[in-house]
Chains A and B, each alone.
Chain A
Amino acid sequence: MKQIKAVSLISGGLDSMLATKAIMEQGIHVEGINFFTGFCVEGHTHAIRQKDKDKPKRNNSLWVAETLGIKLHIIDIIEEYKDVLINPKHGYGANMNPCLDCKVFMVKKAKQWMEENDFDFIITGEVMGQRPMSQRRETMPIISAESGADDRLVRPLCGQNLPATLPEREGWIQREQLFGFSGRGRKPQMALAEQYGLSDYSQPAGGCCFLTDESYSAKLVDLWKARGTKDYELDDVMLLKVGRHIRPNQNFKVIVAREDGEGRFLQGYKNNYINMNCASHRGPLALIDGDPSAEDLYLAAQIVARYGQGRDAEQVDVLVRDLAGNESTLEVKPLAKDKLPKEWFV
């Protein structure tokens, strides 16, 4: 008999790990697929920030694949994902998370991968009623239908509450060995993890990506508003995860590193952004995004000086590098705390 093969959407969280394991237990060959949208919550934010240096920097999807002993294919969908985020047919969740469109898109990509690689069905870790809220009874058939995966999409954790899928009808997998989880509770998942002998798994609170994060979403909306268009590049998305973002005006914002790790990371963007740092005192590196005037740059330098050791000095030298790499020095008085309105902080 032909070995039946399934491709499983691995987010790095517990649910997709359990769903994968449940199907492996039924003798199916499973390989994982993980999509990188640019917004995924990954170890790299820990890697950037110095203060988190002692925390493990593992990538959870790789960890899941290694723990389960399966292959993992990581796919860059940054470009294609833009359309999902910018024009979500089903709208956004609580923040800028277009979860339903995102799921449809990912399952559609997984289906394409399944066909190209001669696999038989798709697995997701969805559970009705779990966060993010795309996981509702009404949305399950939408995801199956709009992705085109139809009855080749199996949700092992709640499969018993759903109509039988093709793999069940064909006898590739046994329905009785699927589960009937529902609701927001995590106890059944944790019990199943224990049964499978899995520990040290990751349980991100908000969801699988930064778009469920309120402050991140606010920064993204601010970026779109300032540019007058809902567009972005990977660099934008990455920079929104790093530093203090201060916008005194629509035409520019200042991104100030909060500690050395972030400073090192921002160094990598020095050729693409006007940037500045204190020359007369120790202080952070800052990037200027947008199209600032000479006056704006002066204000930016005052802001940057405020975050350096010269914050109480009468005058601080700030070294400014323009996009061509030309250097000039601005002599400024650091901006007093009460001159930095709360509304400027994005």
Chain B
Amino acid sequence: MSRYELDARRLLCPMPVIRTQDRVKQLQIGDVLSVTCTDPGVMQDIPAWCRINGHKVLETQADDYQYIIMLEVGE
């Protein structure tokens, strides 16, 4: 298992989802990706995208200016 980071700040949905999707395609099952965003919409969209495609959201963090979603790549 490896850890990766993705900077999706300043992008509006669905761009952070698209970037996450394209990055996950290059990763292995069990890898962990942490995505940092500024569009609050990601708190809904990335978990939805994960549920649809069989990935697991491990943790989400939010403060006033940014949102971090940590996910584990599924099958």
Contact = CB atoms under 8 A, between A and B. Distances in A.
B40 A57 contact: yes
A263 to B, nearest CB: 12
B13 A268 contact: no
Question: Which of A61, A62, A268 has most chain B Cβ within 10 Å?
Answer: A62
Given A44-B39, A74-B21, A56 B12 contact: no
Contact of A36 (B18, B43, B51, B65): B18
B28 interface: no
Given A59-B41, A62-B45, A66-B51, A43 B13 contact: yes
A225 interface: no
User: Do most interface residues of chain A lie in helix, strand or loop, or is the interface mixed?
Assistant: mixed
A71 B53 contact: yes
Contact of B18 (A65, A66, A74): A74
Interface residues of A, number: 28
Interface in B5-52: 9-10, 12-15, 17-18, 21, 38-41, 43-45, 48-49, 51-52
B44 A58 contact: yes
A59 B38 contact: no
Interface in B44-66: 44-45, 48-49, 51-53, 65
B14 A59 contact: yes
Contacts of A56: 44
Given A62-B48, A66-B52, A44 B18 contact: no
Which 7 pairs from chain A and chain B are nearest by CB? A47-B41, A44-B12, A62-B48, A268-B10, A44-B13, A57-B41, A59-B45
Nearest to A70: B52
Interface of A: 34, 36, 40, 42-44, 46-48, 56-59, 61-63, 65-66, 70-76, 238, 264, 268
A74 B44 contact: no
B65 to A, nearest CB: 8
B52 A72 contact: yes
A309 B29 CA distance: 54
A187 B49 CA distance: 31
A275 to B, nearest CB: 15
Nearest to B38: A268
A238 B38 CA distance: 15
25 contacts: A43-B41, A44-B12, A44-B39, A47-B40, A48-B39, A57-B40, A57-B41, A57-B43, A58-B44, A58-B48, A59-B13, A59-B45, A59-B48, A62-B45, A62-B49, A63-B48, A66-B51, A70-B52, A74-B14, A74-B18, A74-B21, A75-B18, A76-B18, A268-B10, A268-B38
Contacts of B65: 264
A63 B51 CA distance: 11
A66 B44 CA distance: 12
Contacts of A76: 15, 18
A233 to B, nearest CB: 13
Nearest to A32: B52
A65 B52 contact: yes
A43 to B, nearest CB: 5
Contacts of B13: 42-44, 47, 57, 59
Contacts of A63: 48
B17 A62 contact: yes
A34 B41 CA distance: 17
Contact of B41 (A44, A65, A71, A238): A44
Contact of B52 (A42, A57, A71): A71
Contacts of A48: 12, 39
A251 B45 CA distance: 38
